[in-house]
Structure 1
Amino acid sequence: MEQLKVFDENYTYLRDENRDKVHREGLWHETFHCWLVDNQFVYIQKRSAVKKDFPGLFDITAAGHILSTETVADGIREVEEELGIEVDLTKLHSKGVVQDSIKLPQFTDCEFSNIFLYDSTFTARNFTLQREEVESVHVVERKALIDLFSNEIKIVKCVNIFDGTLAEIGLIDFVPHERNYFEQVAHILKG
């Protein structure tokens, strides 16, 4: 059973708990959120249809829980595991922590989300997806995603990097992060 560090709402460490209890009781814990970006695009993932939580929804390029035995920087393993890409740490930039809480009937996910941007030069052939986690990777124009996350527009176009298919998506197609989370990420993406 995965063990996570538990914090109070001020990000003060309290103890370690198993992941199920953390979500069942809505305890604050740390996550690693990595957004792959280049000058024009932001890469987003479409979650696998077999995922327990939020199957088939769009989300952060790569993200995951930071285990109790890990540092925040160790969270980079999520990028390598989910996307199968080799990470160059000199291209990884910490952008701070955003509190995010997702409340659903079956669980409450209260996260201290450690946000990172990664300067991407990847092409489709660089990715080897962990299929039980990620269905596909798409690119969205950076300005359009900023506008969507800032609630200035309702729909953006994204392109599947593997087969070139185009889709139009809105916030309803994303994992339901808090409005504040989306606004903070928009601010970060503006640079």
Structure 2
Amino acid sequence: MMLVELLKVFDEDYKYVCDETREIIHKKGQWHETFHCWLVDGTNVFIQKRSATKKDFPSLYDITAAGHLLTDEEIMDGVREVEEELGIQVDLSKLKRMGAVRDVIRLPSFIDKEFANVFLYQSTLGPDDFTLQLEEVERIHSVAIKDLQALFRREVENIICSDDTKITLSDFVPHETAYFEAVAEFLDLAKSSGM
């Protein structure tokens, strides 16, 4: 038996409207909440390669860890996504909330309208320190913050990860340009605060 995920539906002003299934929300293009966590380590940021078996955006690169917030969850409960996907224990004192960013992804099969609650996490982990939930995450890559920012700002065509993997923006989940630019700004704050 498959579990039905219930999410909160919001209006354009981020005010709660009702609860609905994830499937209906994506079909109707309704606003809902997600938790996005970017792990940063000094001058690097971690990105994930989504599992090839994922229903949505298989094998594309994305946020270090992210997921939908269920109806009975508050924003900080999204930490479970980091712990589930990456197999690490989150130290809340190292988690910095950056704010909510609107992010809309339109595909023929669904419209994903998110209030993405973006966090940066100060990490001292290496790519081999994660225990990945393989049905969600195929691999974790480390990228120089300045390189990822340049890619997100469309200043370069591609970047090279620490393991020599070459990535272009088309290799990423197709977030809105405004979302990528907001993350690039947040990463500036990470560098200036010594995260």
TM-score (norm 2): 0.94
Q: For residue 171 of structure 1, what is the aligned residue in structure 2?
A: 169
Q: Is the 8 A contact 2:7 2:22 kept in 1?
A: yes
Matched, 1:135 2:138: yes
Aligned mate of 1:146, from 120, 127, 149: 149
* Cα gap change, 1:124 to 1:168, in 2 (>3 Å): closer
For 1:157 and 1:41, locate their aligned partners in 2 and report how far apart those are by CA, in whole Å: 12
Q: Indicate the residue corresponding to 1:185 in structure 2.
A: 183
1:124 to partner: Cα distance: 3.4
Q: Deviations over 1:2-60 (max 9, x none)?
A: 11000011101100001100011000000000000011100000000000000000000
Structure 2 unmatched ranges of 5 or more: 190-195
- What is the match of residue 79 of structure 1? 82
Number of the residue aligned with 2:111 = 108
Aligned pairs for 1:48-127 within 5 A: 48-127=51-130
The answer as to whether partners of 2:105 and 2:176 remain within 8 angstroms in 1 is yes
Per the alignment, residue 162 of structure 1 pairs with none
C-alpha displacement of 1:144: 0.7
Identity %: 59
Quick one: which of 10, 15, 34 aligns to 1:12? Answer: 15
- Equivalent in the alignment of 1:31: 34
Partners of 2:41 and 2:125 within 8 A in 1: no
**Which residue type is aligned with residue 164 of structure 2?**
L
Runs of 4+ in 1 over 2 A off after TM superposition: 123-126
Partner Cα distance (1:186, 1:74) in 2: 24
Q: Quick one: distance in 2 between partners of 1:182 and 1:90?
A: 25
Q: CA deviation at 1:174?
A: 0.2
The size of the alignment, in residue pairs, is: 186
Of 24, 31, 34, which residue of structure 2 is paired with 1:21? 24
Tell me, which stretches of 5 or more residues in structure 1 are unaligned? 160-164
Counterpart of 1:21 in structure 2: which amino acid? I
Give CA deviations for 1:62-85 in whole Å, capped at 9, x if unaligned. 000000000000000000000001
TM-score (norm 1): 0.96
Distance across 1 between alignment mates of 2:6 and 2:115: 16
- Superposed CA RMSD: 0.8
